[in-house]
Structure 1
């Protein structure tokens, strides 16, 4: 480090780490040294290291996960190989995305491809820019988990229609015949409903968003609704409360507190024995509402959800339906590479079954205090 430089120390460390990422000292999909190790390596404070790593994160070169570390996800300098695959996602988290990216990265490495990852950060404008940047490189194919089902990037649609190798992940486009790999939410809803019904629950609450533009969440809600509305199904008394107005990427504290209040009021008035949260964010709001009501899970009320990030926060574990991100990633890359090679795939749409991960937050209704 040049302590006589006019640049702050954290900027010098940021530039040094960036160089090491770009020259493969710290390759993609590996962990940076820990903050403690970096403070010793550079002989600076932890705050200085945090500032440097924050700059890397702001450029989407690394991502951080509680209990895991800081993972390298992007290099600025493109590899010399012309076997390039692009991946566009809104972002990654422990609840969904991290294992998917790892799976795709591993599949690319085994097949001799290099992966270029772009993040849209829930912005349609940035998603368009990510797609254009990959086309400009150019890449041989694109894997994309699009933002919203109601937004179609015209350039992406045209490339799909032109036959460019593009596989859509997680959120299926409507009205266009694209290659697609995602979760079988309908089968998952039936599986979850059978679990909950088998535990003797009849008074069920389902918490979702008041406005859904995400096709995966829409499919998930529709699947549960179809199961519950069947005249012969034991869960026909389920109540759907699409009352959450905030979203995890908005950071709106006022809206968040209002949503917790609405969930709290629903639980207090409807007194369900089991509640289902449409995603991990809604589950976090639901847990807070249950806590404010001084109820315990599962003795007072049971909780079932989706895509939990309980690996990072063991104290927040709940029973949930987990998407098989590893299989989605492997299947999507196999489909894309087959289309790159042959301009044809045998099956253009593949749905991967989810699995229930049981952390004991759903018990038999007869064992509950409020039943």
Structure 2
């Protein structure tokens, strides 16, 4: 079928096969080519891979398409004949799929809007998929999407220590694919996210500059989620910057998502009365810490200062306006979409990782610690 080396990707093998068949005149100008479904079966690949290979051949002028009819070998002059009934022979844009773990927060809503604005301008429809932060759902959705005529995917992975097989296969198949927010370490992918290390480092450094020495770190399970790992690294680097030892008593880093946390947080605060500040990895946990502190009769921020990563809607109207690390999630979505468009145009381009700088928004929840009398 092909004299290409076995190491050549399936994506390139498909293009080489079609070029070879046209070159030896097995298919002549004007002939209808095998359908995407037939090529998918022949090469045992996803429809995304086949569609991208065909799109490249259209750009080369070797193939033209007629909507609703199929793909054809171009005439010798490389010019596709006019499509009947006024149908444009230029291929229509296939949709881009966006997978998000949550849709119930401000961050993801703005991210989605950023992605959509760039894709719409480029003529790509957006297909949104909600994984519910479940690896099983994520894998099932990706398996289904492999059969759809997509131009590419943007994936915000779920939390967890392992990556599902479908994500790994996307990278191996050279499918146009960009990861946002949570990098897949150990897998070579295009990625856009915030500089979580720098953001956490600045936040904890601010607490230290206010005079805090016993600073808590509160998170869900750290291992396997790059954004949380990086925020912990930033917390530790801030201590190193000020040459402060890290006391592991002040780390609560195993909380489960969607599990009641008040009892565990109250216990954590009660057994560490010398802890004067807390850095939490997200607004949900930050607000939970505040509720637990109030439940113990602690005054915020006088007896417990608090800073967390990301802002939340209407935070300006909160009883104690939170100081937080702010990342521009709309810009993150825009940059992810731009990166994907570049990958669609040049699938074999070198993998790129883009880290956007966040900034610390200072409000009322972090103040110098109260000097308690002995």
Counterpart Cα distance in 1 of 2:249 and 2:237: 12
Deviations 1:64-102 (A, max 9, x none): xxxxxxxxxxxxxxxx95331100111123353111111
Native 8 Å contact 2:214 2:250 kept in 1: no
RMSD, aligned α-carbons: 2.5
* Counterpart selection for 1:353 from 353, 357, 374: 357
Deviations 1:142-188 (A, max 9, x none): 00011135322223312212211100111111211110111111111
* Pairing 1:76-95 to 2, within 5 Å after superposition: 82-95=93-106
TM-score, with structure 2 as normaliser: 0.69
* Counterpart selection for 1:183 from 194, 197, 209: 194
* Pairing 1:1-371 to 2, within 5 Å after superposition: 82-209=93-220, 212-228=223-239, 230=240, 233-237=242-246, 239=248, 241-243=250-252, 245-248=254-257, 250=258, 252-253=259-260, 256-266=261-271, 269-311=272-314, 314-315=317-318, 317-345=321-349, 348-365=352-369, 368=370, 370=372
1:181 aligned counterpart, secondary structure: strand
2:146 aligned counterpart, secondary structure: helix
1:299 aligned counterpart, secondary structure: coil
- Following superposition, the deviation at residue 246 of structure 1 comes to 4.4
Q: 1:321 to 1:238 in 2, by over 3 A?
A: farther
Counterpart Cα distance in 2 of 1:171 and 1:282: 18
Deviations 1:109-165 (A, max 9, x none): 121111001011122121012112322222110000111353222233122122111
TM-score, with structure 1 as normaliser: 0.69
Counterpart Cα distance in 1 of 2:114 and 2:226: 23
Counterpart Cα distance in 2 of 1:277 and 1:102: 26
2:363 aligned counterpart, secondary structure: coil
Counterpart Cα distance in 1 of 2:145 and 2:316: 35
2:141 aligned counterpart, secondary structure: helix
Give aligned pairs, total.
282
Larger of the two Rg values belongs to structure: 2
Native 8 Å contact 1:307 1:322 kept in 2: yes
1:363 aligned counterpart, secondary structure: coil
- Following superposition, the deviation at residue 311 of structure 1 comes to 2.3
Structure 1 stretches lacking a partner, 5+ long: 1-79
The structure 1 segments of at least 4 consecutive aligned residues displaced by more than 6 Å after TM superposition are: none
Structure 2 stretches lacking a partner, 5+ long: 1-90
